[in-house]
Amino acid sequence: MLRYAFARILGAIPTLLLVIAIAFLMVHAAPGGPFDSERVLPPDIKENIERAYHLDETLPQQFYRYIKGVVRGDLGPSYRYRDFSVSELIAGAIPVTMRIGALAILLALIVGISAGLIAALRRNTVLDRLVTGIAMIGISVPVFVFAPLMVLVFAVTLKWLPASYTGSDGADRLLLPVIALAMPQIAFIARLTRASLIDVMNSDYVRTAKAQGLKTLSIVRYHAFRPAMLPLISYLGPAFAAVLTGSVVVEHVFGVPGVGRFLITASANRDYTLVLGITVFYAAMVVFLNLVVDLLYAFVDPRVRTR
């Protein structure tokens, strides 16, 4: 298991380098610069600033310098937040993003698995069609539409919950961001659980258990639930990645001071190092979470360990 994990980590290094290279080229290909503003700087002052931040070097030199910093754990200074480095900004925003993301995944797993189990056990009934229809709506409606709609209904019209994370106290300020972030994953998990459980319930050993007189709930609990969860475990990696990328929109809509909000601000301000630092952080998190999912899959399914 350790050799497998070590091999996956080594295999992730070229992926991270490719992501950094593509993000570096895309950021520098955007028009304008980090120090462009409505007030035109004198040429000598602008030249001194660019020299201080090594922006006067060629792109290969800047990329080589940035890669050396990433290897040392230094993501560089922020061009807009002058008193903070990129690492400090990300470290300050990570707890908020991780808390909302973890709560969203937990909510998605609880509601999605429960809805999928109910739909599979009540197949072709009104309840099954209801769960499937709601799941289709959750998949079809994007987050940037669903999140403002929730603000309009629950915060503006009904006044049940605060519309913004900032300026609010208590745990209720987490409800709207968490639900908005979890809604697409609830839909995917519900449909995946339903399809997987139906497939397992049609297998030979389940039919044998039914012929022996076991009740449906006992069969699901002791025989069908664990193998039905294997496709869901494989999906957890993309689910975590979707939550991380979806947090960019959700944090901007609800004013959450997380990593995603910094990414939008940095993109608008052409803060190269902050955009690259957040991109590296997202890529590293996705690679790490996929590694965790692979190890969890091997733990649940002994056949993977045997191979």
Interval 206-228 mean pLDDT? 85
- What is residue 117's predicted lDDT score, i.e. its pLDDT? 92
- Candidates 289, 116, 280; CA nearest to 199 is 116
Q: Which residues pair with 85 in a beta bridge?
A: 77
Structure tokens at 121: 């056990």
| pTM, to two decimals | 0.81
Whole-angstrom distance, CA of residue 271 vs CA of residue 265: 8
pLDDT in tens, 100-152: 889 999 999 999 999 999 999 888 899 889 998 988 888 888 888 888 888 88
- What is residue 28's predicted lDDT score, i.e. its pLDDT? 78
Buried b (16+ CB within 10 A) or exposed e, 187-224: bbbbbbbbebbbebbeeeebeebeeeebeeeebbeebb
Whole-angstrom distance, CA of residue 67 vs CA of residue 20: 8
pLDDT in tens, 175-201: 899 999 999 999 999 999 999 999 998
- What is residue 197's predicted lDDT score, i.e. its pLDDT? 92
- What is residue 171's predicted lDDT score, i.e. its pLDDT? 78
Assess whether pLDDT exceeds 60 at residue 27: yes
**CATH numbers and ranges of domains, the chain:** 86-306 (1.10.3720.10)
Crossing angle for the helix pair 230-254 and 259-269, to the nearest 10 degrees: 60
